[in-house]
Each structure stands twice: as C-alpha cells, then as structure tokens.
Structure 1
C-alpha cells in the first residue's frame, strides 16, 4: 500500500525547494538592480527590499532543508514577499536604463 504521508512530504518538500528558488532569484535580481531604479519607479528602497528578500531566502531555505515545518507562516510569507517583488517591482525596475530609440510605434 502506498503511504500517503510519504507522498505528501515529498510534494511539500518540492514546493519548499520551489519557494527557495523563487526567493533566491528575486534576491539576486534585487541585488543586481541599481539603487536609482527603485527611487525612479517610486517603489520601496533597495535596502528595504534586500532585507525583505534576505529573510525570504532564509526562511525558504530553512523549509527546504526541513529545519522549519514546510507550511509554516514564515515560508508562506517568503513566497508572498518574493511574489510581490517578482510581479510588481521587477517589471518596473527592469524598464529603467534600457535606453534605445523607441517611438510611439516601436523601435526606429
């Protein structure tokens, strides 16, 4: 007979690995983004985002190595913080500094 708890533990562990990868990607992107881009777009400061995403990486890593319970409130908060950064802040700050000659109908 298949153990349900074993399968569920595997699924939650894979979700924790995904949360860690997402938080780490957001952290690295924020680290490589210039400080000026955050101020120009009117988002929170780079320093604040680095602190938030640093804790997100820490808690997601703790869940991935099963130090914390996989579905702890800290793991869920790290996914939410990383998701907000990737969905709202990353597109805004990525547009800064691209340059190029773009007109109303595209590049020319």
Structure 2
C-alpha cells in the first residue's frame, strides 16, 4: 500500500471519533457559554457538528461524496481548534 493511501486511511478513520467528540463536547456545554464566547449558538453548533459527523460516517474519501466528507472534516476541526478552546476559557474563568 502506498504511503499516501495509508495517511488518507488514517485520517479517514480518525475523523469519525473526532466528530463524535466534537458533538459530545458541544452537547455538554452550557448554552450561554457560546454567546459569551462570541460564537454561534449551541443549537447551531450541535447541528453543524452532528451533520458533520453524519457526513463523515456516511461518505467515504475518494467516493462520490468526497466533497461532503471534506466539509464535515473541516467543520469538526473548526469546532475543535477554534470553538472548544474559547468555550473552555470562558467557563474556566481567569487563572489567578
């Protein structure tokens, strides 16, 4: 198997747990934290992360649904890299 195919396979299989984590994390957060963090509302992020996780599960990379799979991956990564740290910071408060 080619090295690039192995990397894509690892990304494909790692994306689904990341999507489930993003949806679960959004589900467990307080609704007002999203507003204070200046992000979209909690129902919006639940819809985005849930739809993204569904796209990651239903579509395969390299198939006819590649565009939806990549959009789902980007949505999950945006939540994990941008929204989640801000929510944690807002709910934790100052560190002193």
Correspondence for 1:95: 89
Question: Unaligned 5+ residue runs, structure 1?
Answer: 63-67, 103-108
Task: Say if 2:35 is the partner of 1:35.
Answer: no
Alignment RMSD (CA, Å) = 2.1
Larger radius of gyration: 1
Q: TM-score, normalised by structure 1?
A: 0.73
Mapped partners of 1:24, 1:79: distance in 2: 11
Write out per-residue CA displacement over residues 84-103 of structure 1, whole angstroms, 9 at most, x where no aligned residue: 1111111111112325771x
Change (3 A) 1:32 1:98: same
- More helix by percentage: 2
- What residue in structure 1 maps to residue 17 of structure 2? 21
Distance in 2 separating the partners of 1:77 and 1:101 = 35
Change (3 A) 1:87 1:39: same
The runs of 5 or more residues in structure 2 that have no matched partner are none
Once the two structures are TM-superposed, the CA of residue 39 in structure 1 deviates from its matched residue by 0.7
Superposition map of 1:1-108 within 5 A: 8=5, 11-62=7-58, 68-71=59-62, 72-99=66-93, 102=96
